[in-house]
Amino acid sequence: MSNKLEVSFNSPQCGFMSIGFDDGEREFHTTTAHAPHERALPELMQILTALLDNNLPQKEYVLRWNREPEEFDFCFVREGESVILEIYQYPGETRRASEREMVFSHAGDLRDTARAFHATFAQLYEDKDTDEFEFNWRQPFPLAEFEEFKNKMN
């Protein structure tokens, strides 16, 4: 297993958000856009919630996100109490497998990984009014999905 994952999602600006992943061995930083994958942030929280649910049979999830024109797949695979996160980048919206490049991978404890995401989401939530999240991200903070994820963490 790799070192503990650190996740950072910075306050959005003009419809874009800087995000980063670092596990001490590898790191990846990029900017993501609020559109056209407008449900990326709530879907990410839903995926993490589902990964924590031992009763769900599905163990693999793919989240699509973009930064214009590049697109990303965030692939999560649960294996017992571990999770593998792989982030693939495509040069554009055509999403040809032959053109994709793995830009980050991490294998770690499922709960530790979920805690890393929870910490950054909690910070986004705490700062949402001060940072004018809804105005700057062009959509509201996904409160229902955050609450469900937070409850699953307990």
- pLDDT of amino acid 2: 47
Q: What's the half-sphere exposure (Cβ side, CA atoms, 13 Å) at 20?
A: 11
pLDDT, greater one: 21 or 3 = 21
- pLDDT of amino acid 58: 87
Q: What is the pTM of this model?
A: 0.94
Residue ranges per structural domain of the chain: 6-153
pLDDT (average), residues 53-76: 94
pLDDT (average), residues 55-65: 93
Range in 41-45, 56-60, 85-89 with the lowest mean pLDDT: 56-60
Distance of CA 10 to the CA centre of its chain: 12
pLDDT (average), residues 109-130: 97
pLDDT (average), residues 37-63: 95
1.10.3470, 3.40.50, 3.30.2450, 3.30.519: CATH of 6-153? 3.30.2450
| Mean pLDDT for the chain overall | 95
pLDDT (average), residues 130-153: 96
Task: Name, in order, each residue with C-beta under 8 angstroms of 141's C-beta and a sequence gap of 6 or more.
Answer: 124, 125, 128, 133, 134
